[in-house]
Amino acid sequence: MKSWINNFKLSLFLAVKTLWRGDKWSLVLTVFIMLIVFLNLLFIDAIFKGIAITMDNGKINFQYGEVIIEPATGDQYIQQTNNIVEAIRDFYYIKSVTTHLRTGAILINDKNKDGRDVASFSAGVIGIDPQTENQSIDLKSHLLEGRYLRKGDYGKAMLGSDIAGGYGSSVFPTDLEGVRSGDKIMVEYNNGISREYEIVGIYKTKNFDTDSKIIVTRDDLNSILGTTNESSEIIVRLMEKKYSKQALTDFSKINLLRKYDISDYQTKLAFGKSINKSFDMIGMILRIIGSLVAGLVIFIIIFVDIVNRRKQIGILKAIGISERTIRYSYIIQGMFYTLLGIIFGYVLMQFGIIGFFKSHPINFPMGDMVPFIKKESLKMSVILFVLAGLIGSFVPSLKEVHKKILLLMK
């Protein structure tokens, strides 16, 4: 054990002397290259993770909440909505509760009111309570123009930007071709009732499912559907996501909820999980490629250094220093480059690039995205990078250092 420690100390001494006496610009350039390789590795993975988080947050904040209660299969509505809300709203982890009434309709925009230039769109209609909705689904701060719905609004509606048209990219091939706040459109409900609506606001959340809806008051939609205390869904917002499992357990014990489907956001985001797995697979492939590049860089640096110091290696062997000690000194050099690249790359990514994007998010179609470093991905990146550095420094030293002294001294 003592002999191994002494050999390591001597290897460390040789590595430090080699680095200290070497060309400083070459040292800086090598560390910079390793920094860039590791930074590229982190950045691409952080972009993938940021996209996944942005998509998931859009679904949670504007569509499902952390927990959603829906009618059982075959049923149209949740009955006794007010009683259910009263039964669940007092749990300590509940932030807010909102109820939605849903149906379908054909939206018609007769721009010139002459029946000639007509645009139509088949959309979902959501009935909300304007006084409680914004505590759970914040559409008010996402209005592009106009105002939010008010209690008592009849014949007035808010329209998603993907339906209105003229507000940038949309996943739909058609829209209402430029409806604006103050315009009037005809809504033909699935039950045959038609009503003219004034559009009082246009909103854009970047969640395509939400942005493809027309929103009216519950009282208005009740008058269309003949409902009173029924809902199509009850959306529950929690203080923190971690309480979702507790909520599922507690809600399942409430008699009023036994016949309804209760899901948390993780169940609803099952499709997103498959995307995350694809991103993770791509990220792993890129990490392996990046690590191979890093290993190749270290291999070239160490190999060139050994070739330039062959006589010095021969002298060291001649005075009795073991091959293992010399080899370890080059491995230490390789790890020095590798670890500095990891440290500087992480610091620049976490406190520089991510800090910048927190203030200036990337504008993606599904939301404003900020890169995010996942702990598991960071750990895997570091392990692969260190492994690449070890192999990249060990391989060239193994071959050259093993040569006989006379060959090294030539």
Q: Which of 49, 23, 121 is nearest to 376 (CA)?
A: 49
DSSP state of 231: B
The 10s digit of each residue's pLDDT in 323-380 is: 677 777 878 888 888 899 899 999 999 889 988 998 888 888 778 888 888 888 888 8
pLDDT digits (tens, 9 = 90+) for 24-69: 787 888 888 888 888 888 888 888 888 888 888 889 999 999 999 9
Phi first, then psi: give them for residue 20, nearest 5 degrees: -70, -40
Average pLDDT rounded to a whole number, residues 95-102: 94
pLDDT at 5: 67
Domain range list for the chain: 2-59+272-409, 72-259
Are 306 and 364 spatial neighbours (Cβ–Cβ below 8 Å)?
no
Q: Mean pLDDT, to the nearest integer, of 232-253? A: 93
Q: How far is CA 107 from CA 101, 113, 174, 204, 316, in A?
A: 18, 14, 12, 18, 86
Residue type, 292: L
Cα–Cα separations (whole angstroms), residue 86 to 75, 81, 98, 230, 257: 22, 9, 11, 14, 12
How many C-beta neighbours within 10 Å does residue 128 have?
A: 23
pTM of the model: 0.78
What is the average per-residue pLDDT within 16-22?
71
pLDDT at 22 over 70: no
